[in-house]
Structure 1
Amino acid sequence: MTVVLHDHIASLEAMRKYPKALYYRGNLQLLNSVKLSIVGSRRPNPYTQQMTQQIASRLAVAGVCIVSGGAMGVDGIAHTAAGAGKTIAVLGCGLDIRYPAVNASLLVSIEKEGLLLSPFKDGFKTTNWSFVVRNEIVVALGEALIVTQADVNSGSMRSVEYALKMGKKIYVIPHRAGESEGTNRLLAEGKAEAIYDIDAFVSQYGEAARCADDPFLEFCRSNPTYEEAVRSYPQEVFQYELEGKITVTAGKIAVL
């Protein structure tokens, strides 16, 4: 069932205009996760498919939530590789519409385990401008933007424009000359950084990086019992659980 989201999402303040309404289906706790946005071509080449899959899956394993637009191509690959429970899909239509049809089963899985978001109420069908709004939300939600393949005149490059205006870091994967000319141009102009080593990149945003600056999260990585955590960090336990940074399962603490 579609629900109106009343909570304020601070990262969306970076948009040109905060959405008049937001609707959701799924797990709102994912909004409290470290999030990275992944966008790209709807017809990615085999190299892009492989790299998108590897980047999204390794980020998800490291505790990062993947945000994308639910479209075919790079979007669908990123959502699938992250796993339905570790991804947010922002749609350019009402949440009761499974669009595109090729991703219908994926969107059902994300609704059950992850999070679907839309600024459009049920029944609203996609338009050119609704995709523009969707793209801006996708960029705003993530701490940084990853573009795995894009032509110069493409929707993904429009997302890059939003990221630049919002002051977000932009990452791309290196392509051969004549391929993905949009991302190659970003590299040439110094507007993006290339991902050459996936593990090194993931280490910048994954759970270990977050824990290194947070003694309580570092403590929680050892999976202490709930009682041990309360004894050592009584205030943090309740605060972090409320914020969705940790979870308690079978009497033990785990980092989300």
Structure 2
Amino acid sequence: MDNTFDKEILDWLRLIRSPRVGPRMFFNLLSIFGSPKNALSELSNLAKAAGGSNKPCSISEAEKEIIECQNFGAQILISSMPNYSKLLKEIPDFPPLLIVKGNIDFLNKRSIAIVGSRNASISGTVNAQKFSDEISRAGYVIVSGMARGIDTAAHKAALENGTIGIIAGGIDNIYPKENRALYEKMYTKGLIVTEYKIGSAPLPNNFPRRNRIISGISIATVIIEASLKSGAMITANSAVEQGRDVFAVPNSPGSLNTGANLLIKKGASLVESGYDVLSELSYNTRFQKDLFSSDVFNEFKMSNTSIPSDYELISVRKKLLPKLSYSPVSVGQISSVLGEDIVVVNYVLLELELAGKIERLYNGNVVLSSKE
């Protein structure tokens, strides 16, 4: 890559690795300031305006991460690149960048997620292998989360045809440890994907965010054995929120893993084989045409938001924070109660979030920061 392109990756990496900058914040900043470089120069000022501080990720830190990725044989893909998953960019909080190792061509092939219990039964394991084999032989890439149980069975059955593992830690962090041999095969025959920094541990809070990528990169998700409060159920809910199809394999009523049954009651399609999944999808015309055409980055680039005047900002800054609590409220509700323009409210919320005064929930609602 040439130096200009390296600089673009460096700026994207620095911004997303800066304190309190997640995917939504990243693209909010991009929409206001036009580029990561411009946003980086404003982070400290934005946090200071809300009575806090925010020190951007340094150039040396970002360079170190890039070198570590290169040494490990991994690549950094920013979402403006053509080989970044176009389907993933359809979800509202897609990662600004991915770190990948393996066959990156899989990112833009049609894929189906298969997820389920870590404590899979023999029957569940056999089903995962069967579904994965049947679907992958039909030309679909199988996506899962590299966990033990259903995930592992699905990846192994699809290795020869194409599979993507989405993980909740660094690209070099093998979890669980017993899957070391599978990881090594995935690094060469498949593809491992993460949004987390190389070397980072798979922390508990990372897994729900990992699950949104599993469903977001897939046209459909298949649930095989899942307890009611499992990660697989979170993945299924993410798929529904993202407008993707959900399929479920029914389980015995006496089983602990009755999540799939609940999904069927709520409208998920009951399937008994991979061929059932393929048959159901054949009726979904949305995926019979080339849907890979969205470019959210360009949309942000073309619609920069103007910065409110000092007069507008001072007025909202004075009254916004005292009105917030630990009960979630939407930006629309805040704007309505305060009687202020939503653009100005959003800008002040951005300042408060960068200062660590508030937190944004997954659905975009706002609460006071629990760390204050």
1:15 Cα deviation from its structure 2 partner: 3.3
Deviations 1:97-131 (A, max 9, x none): 11111111101101111111110121111101111
AA paired with 1:62?
A: A
SS in 2 for 1:159: helix
- The answer as to 2:200 corresponding to 1:124 is yes
Deviations 1:187-211 (A, max 9, x none): 1222x111134434334559xx99x
- The answer as to 2:82 corresponding to 1:10 is no
AA paired with 2:113?
A: S
AA paired with 1:189?
A: K
Measured in 1, the distance between the counterparts of 2:108 and 2:85 equals: 10
Measured in 2, the distance between the counterparts of 1:39 and 1:85 equals: 18
Q: 1:181 to 1:62 in 2, by over 3 A?
A: same
- The answer as to 2:128 corresponding to 1:52 is yes
Deviations 1:37-65 (A, max 9, x none): 11100011111111111000111111110
Aligned match for 2:187, one of 95, 103, 111: 111
Percent identity of paired positions between Structure 1 and Structure 2: 28
8 Å contact kept, 2:131–2:273: no
8 Å contact kept, 1:2–1:122: no
Measured in 2, the distance between the counterparts of 1:45 and 1:166 equals: 29
AA paired with 2:220?
A: A
RMSD of equivalent CA atoms? 2.0
Measured in 2, the distance between the counterparts of 1:123 and 1:39 equals: 25
Q: 1:205 to 1:111 in 2, by over 3 A?
A: farther
8 Å contact kept, 1:66–1:87: yes
TM-score, normalising length: structure 1: 0.76
Larger radius of gyration: 2
- The answer as to 2:172 corresponding to 1:96 is yes
AA paired with 1:202?
A: L
TM-score, normalising length: structure 2: 0.53
Matched ranges for 1:9-158 at <5 A: 9-83=85-159, 86-158=162-234
Measured in 2, the distance between the counterparts of 1:59 and 1:142 equals: 13
SS in 2 for 1:5: strand
SS in 2 for 1:147: strand
| Moved >6 Å (runs of 4+) | none
Measured in 2, the distance between the counterparts of 1:204 and 1:139 equals: 17
AA paired with 1:80?
A: K
1:137 Cα deviation from its structure 2 partner: 0.4
Matched ranges for 1:191-202 at <5 A: 192-202=268-278
Equivalences, count: 209
